[in-house]
């Protein structure tokens, strides 16, 4: 069974750093891409970027380029999304999602990680 | 960036009704258009891929059509469990983008 299991909810202060994770299982982690999708409270879905764990090829949405870093460690089948300095506007649910390619659908979704940034 | 515009934003429907949601792309995306269902407090779920291809385990009342810039998601004989927000998504070019969502309320 394909599963993407994300790390737990986080509560952080503005200016703090954060790295959330997404562990894949039940499939070959290195031959599928992992995308990250943001959903702000009560709002729609926003595509942030995508990484190929096989060689760490990464593409970002211009809206998120420079704001976050996407990475992966294929040895432990885990992808990451990180911030160096959080803002209140980063408060959202973040989903990792599997995809066979940059031109493909998003077929399996993680359960989401809720990030709350508040002073 | 390709903009996807869904209509309507909200629809209140009765069980057994037929529902059609449209998604228009700001430029041609071929058939690289996918549909997702998100129920409250749940992750989105893939419903239809590449405009009209069905997904294993998704009820047959869900179907998709279209190509180019105009796409539709049809739900035949709506059921109470279909109350959700529906999103279209394009993978034709980066950055991938989503429509703003269509919320279906069951009367």
* Band of residue A104 on the pLDDT scale cut at 50, 70, 90: very high
Residues of chain B with C-beta less than 8 angstroms from the C-beta of A109: 43-45
In the structure, what pLDDT confidence band is assigned to residue A31 with cuts at 50, 70 and 90?
very high
SS3 A76: helix
pLDDT of residue B73: 98
User: Does the beta-carbon distance from B45 to A109 stay under 8 Å?
Assistant: yes
- Give B32's contacts in chain A (Cβ within 8 Å): 103
CB–CB contact A47 B98 (8 Å): yes
Q: Which of B39, B58, B91, B92 to mutate to test the interface with A (most CBs of A within 10 A)?
A: B91
% of chain A at pLDDT higher than 90? 100
pLDDT at A107: 96
Task: Select the residue of B45, B91, B101 nearest A103 (Cβ to Cβ).
Answer: B91
Q: How many CB pairs under 8 A join A and B?
A: 60
**pLDDT band with cut points at 50, 70 and 90 for residue B87:** very high
Residues B13-59 pLDDT 10s: 999 999 999 999 999 999 999 999 999 999 999 999 999 999 999 99
What lies within 8 Å, CB to CB, of B36 at 6+ separation is: A45, A106, B44, B45, B46, B47, B86, B87, B88, B89
* Structure confidence at residue B22 (pLDDT): 98
Average pLDDT, chain A: 97
User: Which of B43, B45, B50 lies nearest to residue A112, judging by beta carbons?
Assistant: B43
Q: Which of A49, A95, A103 sits opposite B92 (nearest CB)?
A: A103
For residue B71, the number of C-alpha atoms closer than 13 Å in the C-beta half-sphere is: 33
Provide, as residue numbers in chain B, all residues whose Cβ is less than 8 Å from the Cβ of A47: 89, 95-98
Nearest-Cα residue of chain A relative to residue B55: A107
Q: Is the peptide bond before A78 cis (omega within 30 degrees of 0)?
A: no
Interface contact A47-B36, CB threshold 8 A: no
**Exposure string (b/e) for B77-96, b if CB count within 10 Å is 16 or more?**
ebeeebbbbbbbbbbbebbb
Instruction: Say whether A106 and B87 touch across the interface (CB within 8 A).
Output: no
């Amino acid at each position: 069974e394909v599963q993407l299991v994300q790390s737990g909810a986080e509560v952080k202060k503005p200016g703090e750093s954060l790295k959330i994770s997404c562990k894949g299982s039940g499939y070959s982690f290195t031959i599928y891409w992992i995308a990250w999708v943001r959903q702000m409270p009560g709002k729609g879905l926003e595509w942030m970027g995508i990484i190929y764990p096989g060689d760490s090829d990464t593409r970002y949405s211009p809206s998120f380029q420079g704001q976050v870093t996407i990475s992966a460690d294929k040895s432990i089948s885990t992808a990451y999304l990180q911030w160096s300095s959080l803002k209140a506007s980063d408060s959202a649910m973040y989903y990792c999602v599997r995809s066979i390619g940059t031109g493909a659908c998003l077929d399996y979704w993680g359960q989401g990680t809720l990030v709350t940034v508040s002073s | 960036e390709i903009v996807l515009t869904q209509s309507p934003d909200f629809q209140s429907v009765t069980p057994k009704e037929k529902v059609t949601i449209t998604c228009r792309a700001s430029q041609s995306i071929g058939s690289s258009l996918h549909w997702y269902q998100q129920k409250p407090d749940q992750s989105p779920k893939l419903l239809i891929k590449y405009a009209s291809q069905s997904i294993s385990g998704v009820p047959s009342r869900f179907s998709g059509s279209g190509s180019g810039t105009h796409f539709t998601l049809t739900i035949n004989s709506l059921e109470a469990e279909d109350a959700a927000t529906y999103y279209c998504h394009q993978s034709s070019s980066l950055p991938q983008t989503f429509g703003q969502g269509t919320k279906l309320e069951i009367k």
